[in-house]
Amino acid sequence: MKHRTIVRFVAIALAGVSFSAIAAGPPRDMPPGPGRQQVMPTMPHHDWHKGERMPSEYRHYNFRLADWRSHGLHAAPRGYQWYGVNGDYVLVNSRTWAISEIVSGRP
């Protein structure tokens, strides 16, 4: 019985500490940022070439563009998908991963 009481007390104390840490928010000396970001190797637009296969590290749903209109792109043909990588837009064949079109996101 005494052991159960101690375990309950410790669990409640830890929960209280966790809640107070969450309620306090981020440290004041931390600049506000965009939050969690996926860090991937950089590949500038001049390294993309039509007909080449898209590197496997960019074939992730995080890079897939569902809102191509807001980026000023045309609709992808059937079997193709737009990907946004490092500010550039790449139209890729969904079966072969061949690059069909490259739109630079930089001037």
Cα 20 to Cα 25: distance, rounded to the nearest angstrom: 9
| 45-103 fold | Nuclear Transport Factor 2; Chain: A, (3.10.450)
C-alpha span between 107 and 98 (Å, rounded): 24
What pLDDT, on a 0 to 100 scale, did the predictor assign at position 93?
Answer: 96
Is residue 33's pLDDT more than 70?
no
35, pLDDT greater than 50: no
Determine which of 2-6, 13-17, 60-64 has the lowest per-residue pLDDT on average. 13-17
Q: Which residue has the higher pLDDT, 97 or 3?
A: 97
Residue with tokens 């104390």: 13
Which whole number is the average pLDDT over 63-74? Answer: 89
Q: pTM for the complete prediction?
A: 0.57
Tokens 């309620």 correspond to what residue?
Answer: 23
